[in-house]
Amino acid sequence: MRAALLQAGESRFELGEIPTPEPGPGQVRVRIGGAGACHSDLHILHDPGRRPAAGAEPWILGHENAGWVDALGPGASGFEVGQPVAVFGGWGCGHCPVCLAGEEQLCDPGRWGGIGAPGGYAEAQLVPATRHLVPIDGLDPAEFAPLTDAALTPYRAVRKAMPHLVAGTTAVVIGVGGLGQFGVQLLEVLTPARVVAVELSDAKRKLAAELGADLVLDPAEGDTGAEIRRFAGREGPAAVLDFVGADATIALTLGTVGRKGLAVIVGLGRGSAPFSFVTNGVEAAVTTSNWGSRTELAEVVELARAGTISTRVERRDLTEINEVFDRLASGEIEGRAVLIP
């Protein structure tokens, strides 16, 4: 099968032919309909500290996958060949406390499909168990693929913030890229909060307004923190969701979160900022948020089926993968690019 391969020490993919994997006992092979190009793969390409474990090169990345069941291994059940499915990529050991509680993505990123195990930048992906599949009958796998992360991750983040976001409150989304655009939509669909979007790119600020953001700010102009505080009023924002995670955005997040509010750090920009009574002066909670669970993915499928969340999918042939990541790096992908093998 055709696959985009990443060799150790390389930051560009090369297209190659490798043997199509055969599913072993309990496993299932999925024919990939589309694989979303996530910014996390850019971190992997350009930051040697974030490479998957050595020894399994060349790696096949791609953790936002959907397609059709292609072959079931001995004993694998619950699905039929040809059935459209989303792949839940946060594979865990299946036996530890977080896995048993249904939050396998919290177990060990080294096992995740498309990070530690071969992913979806290929014609097919081997999935270790049918419990990682979510049926998407009636949905187009290429359109749905990005939702397995770009919507699932903000879904979990917004769910964490929901108890704070009662009527009359303000939520802030920082970074309206692949994930943040779903952050804005999910806040609109799931909460009565007013939404402030902070985004560097003109085109994506326009998109944020179209998706329903009540105030859209360019962090390169004026005092963004002061404008957020003015808009949110005396209580301050009840939730601030940072989809960038750089020093500047974490400082803005922690510097604006309101009284009894929640700051959710989602972006993996390697940033940090101080948070204390002295610098921030509020009682507030700060948390990270890690992908989403299989159950939350099933809930995202229901939202997509109801037509309440969607993305602008830019379909690209897998052979264009390097160009797609160059454009993602320079902020030129408006919704999500999906690689079609």
Q: Is residue 233 a contact partner of residue 259, using CB atoms and an 8 Å limit? A: no
Contacts to ligand NAD from residues 211-230, by CB under 6 A: 219
269 touches ligand NAD (CB under 6 A): yes
Q: Which is nearer to ligand NAD, 69 or 337 (CB)?
A: 337
Can you point out the beta strands (E) in 50-129?
A: 65-72, 84-87, 124-127
Can you point out the beta strands (E) in the chain?
A: 2-5, 14-17, 28-36, 65-72, 84-87, 124-127, 133-135, 170-174, 194-198, 215-217, 239-242, 262-265, 285-288, 313-317, 336-340
In degrees and rounded to multiples of 5, residue 31 shows phi and psi of -80, 120
Smallest gap from Cβ 61 to ligand NAD, in A, equals 12
Smallest gap from Cβ 30 to ligand NAD, in A, equals 20
Mode of pairing for the β-strands spanning 124-127 and 84-87:
unpaired
100 touches Zn ion (CB under 5 A): no
- Cα gap 143→35, rounded to integer Å: 9
- Cα gap 96→33, rounded to integer Å: 32
* Residue 61 falls in which region: left (phi positive, over 0), alpha (psi -120 to 50) or beta: beta
Q: Which helix (H) or strand (E) holds 44?
A: helix 39-46
CA 121 centroid distance within chain: 16
Smallest gap from Cβ 137 to ligand NAD, in A, equals 26
Cβ neighbour number for residue 111 with a 10 Å cutoff: 18
Smallest gap from Cβ 220 to ligand NAD, in A, equals 8
Q: Is residue 137 a contact partner of residue 66, using CB atoms and an 8 Å limit? A: no
Exactly one of 60, 174, 241, 257 binds ligand NAD (CB under 6 A); that residue is: 174
Using CB distances below 5 to 8 A depending on partner kind, what does residue 268 bind out of ligand NAD, Zn ion, none?
ligand NAD
Exactly one of 175, 236, 258, 341 binds ligand NAD (CB under 6 A); that residue is: 175
Smallest gap from Cβ 323 to ligand NAD, in A, equals 15
96 touches Zn ion (CB under 5 A): yes
Smallest gap from Cβ 37 to Zn ion, in A, equals 9
Smallest gap from Cβ 69 to Zn ion, in A, equals 23
Contacts to Zn ion from residues 31-60, by CB under 5 A: 38, 40
Using CB distances below 5 to 8 A depending on partner kind, what does residue 261 bind out of Zn ion, ligand NAD, none?
none
Q: Which is nearer to Zn ion, 251 or 304 (CB)?
A: 304
50 touches ligand NAD (CB under 6 A): no
DSSP letters, 142-209, are HHHGGGGTTTHHHHHHHHHHGGG--TT-EEEEE--STTHHHHHHHHHHH---EEEEE-S-HHHHHHHH
Using CB distances below 5 to 8 A depending on partner kind, what does residue 174 bind out of Zn ion, ligand NAD, none?
ligand NAD
- Pattern 112-151, ligand NAD, x by CB under 6 A: -------------------------------------x--
Residues that bind Zn ion (CB under 5 A): 38, 40, 92-93, 96, 99, 107, 149
Residues that bind ligand NAD (CB under 6 A): 38-40, 43, 149, 153, 174-180, 198-201, 204, 219, 243-246, 248-249, 266-269, 289-291, 328, 331
